[in-house]
Amino acid sequence: MSKNMKVKMTILMLGISAMLASCGNEDVLQSENNGEFKAVTITASLPEGMTTRAVGSTDDSQVVRCYVQMLDEQGNELADGYSTVVKMDESIAGKTYTAKLWMNPTTSEKYTLLFWADSDNSASAPTTLKNVAYNNSGEVVAFAGNLKNQGYVEAGINCTLKHAVTRISVNTTTDLSVTDDATDPYTLTLTVPTSFTAYNVLTGTVAGDATVNWVYNCPVTTVTGATAAVSKEICHFYVMPDANGGNQDLQLHYCGELDNPAITLPNAPINPNFHIIYQGDVAHAGLKQVNISASVDENWGDGSSTTDF
């Protein structure tokens, strides 16, 4: 063989190796039965009856992406690209997502499936679901779920996800404005003592260090026609809590024309899958004795109970 032929063969083999190395779960096997593996349809469902709602008048809080990752039974990555994070296809808008993964139906081999969905349309695709970055802007809703000890199922596999975040809504019973006037702004802020910016779907816990005293600034709005009988939402936001939950003392500060001092909202149950709705005379909070009550939905979307704070 000539020297030129040897060089060409070497380049060809290197090219083939690079192509194989870049293959993921969806790429390494393209037939319905290639060797011992078969394709399985994986479905991720958002909680029944729950559709994500936009912050303000935008669509930023709609789920825009959903991912699945397959690991071995112990939660470790599989060889040959089978644990590549796969973006799922939306099958029913805002409800279900599907993808095909390859599993071995001829053995008792078990797998771990991880699922993550969120509304962060500006984020990079995650490379692992054991440490997913969460955009702590207050505008990103996120869901997670996992299936452990999962074997091959010819009919397909389904996982219903749950909220990995807490939703906090603030309603007013009186008229109120939030402005961004440079000379005389009216602002409404809420401070959460402890929140997080990463999540481990395998363990169902947060990852990384805590963010201390995170502040959410409610967007510009004008609320009119609110009453004690019919309160109206000023704003809502999402926060990533510790998976073990726990109560936290929030700070609410409406800085309007009367220069309100901040008030404490004690013992807020900042837990995953909780939805808390605060309501009261926010415009006069801190100026006089104001009753701020909270509806706490402990299984987001399944009803709520009301507690006075």
Listed in sequence order, the DSSP H helices in the chain are: 3-21, 25-28
The answer to whether residues 77 and 159 belong to one domain is yes
Q: What is the pLDDT along the chain (309 residues), one digit of tens a residue?
A: 554 544 444 444 444 444 444 455 555 444 444 557 899 999 999 885 444 443 333 333 478 999 999 999 999 999 999 999 999 999 887 789 999 999 999 888 999 999 999 999 899 999 999 999 999 999 999 999 999 999 999 999 999 999 999 999 999 999 999 999 888 899 999 999 999 999 999 999 999 899 999 999 999 999 999 999 999 999 999 999 998 888 999 999 999 888 899 999 999 999 999 999 999 999 999 887 767 888 887 777 554 544 444
Residues 18 and 151 in one domain: yes
Verify that 144 and 196 share a domain, yes or no.
no
**Number of domains, the chain:** 2
CA dihedral in degrees (7, 12, 15, 19; nearest 10)?
A: -160
Torsion of CA 154, 155, 156, 158, to 10 degrees: -140
Rounded Cα distance between 218 and 255, Å, is 12
Task: For residues 15 and 150, state if they share a domain.
Answer: yes
Same domain (yes/no): 148, 14: yes
Domain shared by 200 and 299, yes or no: yes
Domain containing residue 233? 166-308
